[in-house]
A and B are shown apart, each in its own frame.
Chain A
Amino acid sequence: MRYGMVIDLKRCIGCYGCQLSCKAENGTPPGVFFARVLKQEEGTYPTVNMLFLPVLCNHCEDPACVDACPTGASFIWEDGIVDIDPDKCVGCRSCMMACPYGNRYINDKPQHYYAQGQTAFERLRTGRHQTEVVMKCNFCRDRVKAGEDPACVANCPTSARIFGDLEDSSSIVSRLIKERAGFTLHPEMATRPCVYYLPT
């Protein structure tokens, strides 16, 4: 069992549904994005392509962040999900420097979105995150354990995100990667990411 995700760049329309459904699901503080959408231009006018590139923790098989963590707070679950135990995290940020993808965030102090203070939503959802620790995507592990897809997958209006077991060769993710030449970001970093992309 190794959970992974496939993101179909042909389907993605850059609606930010993943980024914002993640925010709603996880109640992340300002500036913290377990899921993000990047836009990147390719080519020159008029043969130009605007690439929408959703990114998140790659849940690498050989994660540099876990190697770099001095306290054992960053670890890999038996299902392949890379996670952080906030009780063990000392907020040293070694993992943030080690991650080649920039998908880890420090929750250094209590934050809220409006100048007036926390909303009722933030009290319940943001308030439960410990501060002075590093945080990141964990594939919505609680949803996954409950048999649901991660929030960003469940919400994607174009069904561009697919979640599944990379070790099961018959799973949809495995088949898509094989049939449509799925690729990972920065394979040269040799961290063996478990988030794959399908070409536009």
Chain B
Amino acid sequence: MNTATPEFAVAADDAWIQSSCSLCYGSCSILAHRVDGVVVKIEGNPDSVVGKGKLCGKGVAGIMTHYDPNRLTKPLRRTNPKKGLGEDPGWKEISWDEALGEIADVLRKVRQDDPRKLVVQRTTTVTAGRTPFQTFAAAFGTPNFSVSGGGQHCGNGAHLISGIMHASWSVVPDFAYCNYAIYFGASKGHAAGHASCSNMGLAADARARGMKMVVVDPMANFAGAKATEWVPLRVGTDAALALSMAHVIVNELDMVDGPYLQARTNCPYLIGPDKRYVRDPESKKPLVWDTVANAARPFSEVAAADMALEGEFFANGFQCEPAFAKLKAHLLKFTPEWAESISTVPAKNIRRLAKEFATEARIGSTIMVDGVTLPYRPVAAVAFRGNQGHMNSTYNFFAVDLLNQLVGAADVVGSCMGFNPASKGFPETGRPHYVPTPDADGLMVTGMWMGYHYPYPPSEPRLPKNLGLQDLFVMGMTSPFLNSIDQEELWQTFEVPYRPEVLMNFGSNLMMAIGNSEVVAKSLERYKFIFSFDLFLTETSQFADIVLPDASYLQSTDSRSNFPFIFSLPGGMGEWCWPIRQEVVPLDGEQRRFAEVLLELADRVGMRADLNAAYNASMNLQAPYRLEGDHAYTYPEICDLELKGNFGPQRGLEWFKEHGLIKWKKQPEEVYWRPFVDVRVPVYWEFMVSMWEKINAICEPRGVNIPQEYYDPLPDFLPCRSHQCQKPGFDFYAFYYRDTIHTNSFTMENPWLDEAAELDPFSYYVAIHAEVGKKKGLRDGQSVWVESESGRKVKGRIRLTQAVHPEGLGIAACAGHWGKGMPVAKGKGVFFNELLELDFAHVSPNNLNLDLCVKVRVTPVEA
């Protein structure tokens, strides 16, 4: 009868504790049920906006990750000095004092020598890890920090361009009002990630309400499975389809939102023959053509409605045209017939989709939300990892967002919107307060950001001082060059004056998260010293000198488990919500919490004053809640100060432990900030012109070719390397996708999730089109080798399916563990990244995104 055990009712300890999940970076709010010191259930916290009281399969399975007997409980030191694939580190248990003493000695020396020699690497999975590790890096004095967990592929295009165009880390359809959403390689509302559970509910409500969902994807598994229309395409050709739709909207249908383009974009700015703005000689402001005065005038002096979008003019000594005219002419080449030849999507479908999108946009319409009349554009074109994990990362994402911009469907009701780009703050304190602001050219600068560098305005490219070369390739964020085969060659070429010596790793499994293991292993072998905070011994911690046993999320406290709002709070109306994480159960053995270990390390290194100052900056702590001098605050004390600073002196950590979270009502002027903030977004990326010149001026003399077509102000279709592969027999485009029950590589150790993945028809298989497979004599379930052009290969089992493009070969990401430290995960699924080369030739020369697709051949494994 599955009766509840009666002793629960009389147990001395029986508590439901409000905290935050950490099985993925969605960090949904949870209620953990503890009975006699044991966590017996994790549920969503219905009081919270983050997850809306629900959890995905991963979230409810978190108990098993917490209680995994393979978790580390004591610090370990390697005894085998030799590092390499297959080398046994010869772990020896040591005390924390010994471990931190040795680490502090190393850190002290390297900081004295050159702090940039420290690389700080962290996983994306634990959102709460961002502030402590970035703050430590800043205080230490190293610019070399990196985010792993698929980071190479995940976000350089999506995150930066969402920042440039929507002042947020990512974009979603405004689910509550959107009527027509087109997804390009995105899974918003259908899998893990940003605001994942909240978006699942919102997207389901939208579909139930009748929102049409078109999913452009080589595979119909998660989002594709729920599509009203699945649009399979050749892997990596999203830009061709999106640009062709833009061409149809502009040149065949003429269905653009003129007033929006005039008032909220740089479409009216006059462009000269050098592709740059024509500027006012005195004020240096970009000029527009004033159709009333019939003269070129600075944009800030002309009513938007009077700005010309088309026509040829003579201004300031130059023949010039508005940016929109340039765009219109540029799009002419992207005919649906051309796009069909590139993407395989039939031309008639491209025309139909473009027409549906433009028609459903209801250009010119308004709607009232909470008593405020707002522009209403109930269409959204959204993209994410699959779209922009390619050489053409920048343009693949930019081209999709162009569709929104053309019809004015950007950050207004029903449209494509950033997550929470404007906040007036908690009513009692006005914190956190941020809003997009204009730069001197009137273009939008985001009010809140998360890492690396602001998306716009771009930094000045310079001879790089960062190991990832992001200060040269300024569109780049996460860089492959911390682990690439050609890193030394690149550092020499660009005269980087130092080399990495120490790696501080938090939970990331670089060996599996980036590219082929051989090359990543070499990059790790080069470090003089690696220490790693881990739950388990991973394939990466095998390269460490010291491994530190981390606390699980159920054993940790953090004041910002889900901050900032642009990262993982659901978009749209509703409530702002600031949840915390708190300990549900105590530490086991000698496990310690990473945030507290970092504080002790700072003390041992003698950098506490610098760390306090860095926390004041990273948490925006203001008097009287600033950290003072070199006082040795505990992490809960820092959390307490942050919470009091944001929510008033009566709402410190103790208040939050009791209440779990605080929330307050969103206002339409915040959510639909677009009409209230006088900023423009760049539809014409003028900044790319000088960016290329500056980058090229550094690269060309050093023999590095930077193709100019990657830096054109208007988006284009540029093929992946896989598209150029002509090798006979290599006829599949292999790609990977995120499985809904797995996050990066770490959840594969969870036996409940592993069991679900074993039952799933795809999670641990190689998916190919049934007819194509049969023609090759392949059977369902057959063991095969998947081999790249350069001879790297992985083994997997075939799944014949109708739900994949005939040229595609789909593999769930980050599977195929081989280490002994995660025995449940070992040998499960297919290690896709093994197929990926990791060098300059395989990354976008614009934003450093590693190309995720690779041309492969499939051959049976001999019996």
Contacts and interface: CB of A to CB of B under 8 A. Distances in A.
Interface stretch (A64-72, A154-162, A187-195): A154-162
B761 A17 contact: no
A17 B755 CA distance: 13
Interface in B29-68: 35-36, 38-44, 51-52, 54-61, 63-64, 67-68
9 tightest Cβ-Cβ pairs between the two chains A and B? A16-B57, A158-B204, A50-B225, A119-B67, A157-B200, A113-B751, A157-B54, A20-B57, A116-B69
B802 A121 contact: no
A11 B207 contact: yes
A26 B60 CA distance: 12
Contact of A50 (B38, B54, B58, B221): B221
Contacts of B803: 41, 45, 48, 50
Nearest to B59: A17
Contacts of A15: 56-57, 190-191, 200, 740-741
A172 B802 CA distance: 36
Given A17-B56, A157-B55, A45 B69 contact: no
A114 B36 CA distance: 22
B3 A124 contact: no
7 contacts: A11-B207, A21-B57, A24-B61, A45-B232, A116-B69, A121-B64, A125-B40
A129 B752 CA distance: 18
B399 to A, nearest CB: 22
A156 B43 CA distance: 11
B756 interface: yes
B189 interface: yes
B708 to A, nearest CB: 37
Contact of A21 (B60, B207, B232, B741): B60
A32 to B, nearest CB: 10
A157 B56 contact: yes
A25 interface: yes
Given A117-B69, A121-B64, A159-B201, A26 B225 contact: no
A112 to B, nearest CB: 9
Given A138-B2, A142-B2, A158-B204, A20 B753 contact: yes
B618 to A, nearest CB: 32
Most chain A CB atoms below 10 A, which of B58, B226, B771: B226
B69 A119 contact: yes
Contacts, number: 171
Contacts of A41: 801-803
A23 B204 contact: no
B60 A17 contact: yes
A84 B189 CA distance: 38
Contacts of A43: 802
Contacts of A156: 54
Contacts of B761: 39
A142 B54 contact: no
Contact of B201 (A23, A36, A124, A158): A158
A142 B189 CA distance: 32
Contact of A24 (B3, B63, B201): B63
A181 to B, nearest CB: 15
Contacts of A121: 38-40, 63-64, 67
A140 B3 CA distance: 9
Interface in B215-237: 220-222, 224-226, 230, 232
Contact of A155 (B60, B741, B802): B60
A43 B64 CA distance: 38
Contacts of B4: 142
Interface in B366-421: none
Nearest to B8: A124
A128 B771 CA distance: 49
A117 B69 CA distance: 9
Contact of B60 (A24, A36, A44): A24
Nearest to B3: A142
B740 A13 contact: yes
Contacts of B226: 13
Interface of B: 1-5, 35-36, 38-44, 51-52, 54-61, 63-64, 67-70, 189-191, 197, 200-201, 203-205, 207-208, 220-222, 224-226, 230, 232, 740-741, 751-753, 755-756, 759-762, 769-771, 801-804, 806, 823-824
Contacts of A142: 2-4
Contact of A13 (B40, B190, B753, B802): B190
A154 B43 contact: yes
A135 B855 CA distance: 48
Nearest to A21: B60
Contacts of A10: 204, 207-208
A11 B205 CA distance: 8
Most chain B CB atoms below 10 A, which of A19, A36, A44, A45: A45
Contacts of B203: 13, 158
A62 B796 CA distance: 44
A24 B56 contact: no
Contacts of B70: 114, 116
A9 to B, nearest CB: 10
B200 to A, nearest CB: 4
Contacts of B771: 45
B769 A45 contact: yes
A85 interface: yes
Most chain B CB atoms below 10 A, which of A23, A86, A128: A23
A16 B743 CA distance: 14
B38 to A, nearest CB: 5
Given A45-B806, A121-B63, A158-B204, 7 more contacts: A10-B207, A11-B207, A14-B740, A19-B756, A45-B769, A45-B770, A124-B38
A114 B66 CA distance: 13
A25 B204 CA distance: 24
Interface in A139-176: 140-142, 154-160
Nearest to A154: B43
A115 B68 CA distance: 10
A197 interface: no
A30 B69 CA distance: 16
A120 B337 CA distance: 62
Contacts of B59: 17
A52 interface: yes
A50 B219 CA distance: 10
Contact of B756 (A16, A24, A46): A16
A192 to B, nearest CB: 22
A147 B210 CA distance: 32
B732 to A, nearest CB: 15
Interface string A53-92: 0000000000000000000000000000001111000000
B201 A157 contact: yes
Most chain B CB atoms below 10 A, which of A84, A114, A138: A114
Contact of A16 (B42, B67, B197, B741): B741
Contact of B225 (A49, A86, A122, A128): A49
A86 B1 contact: yes
Contacts of B61: 20, 23-24
Contacts of B740: 13-16
Given A15-B200, A45-B802, A119-B69, A135 B2 contact: yes
Contacts of B2: 26, 129, 135, 138, 140-142
B464 to A, nearest CB: 42
Nearest to A122: B67
Contacts of B44: 155, 157
Contacts of B224: 50
Contacts of A26: 2
A121 B54 CA distance: 21
Nearest to A87: B1
Given A13-B204, A41-B802, A46-B232, A124 B67 contact: no
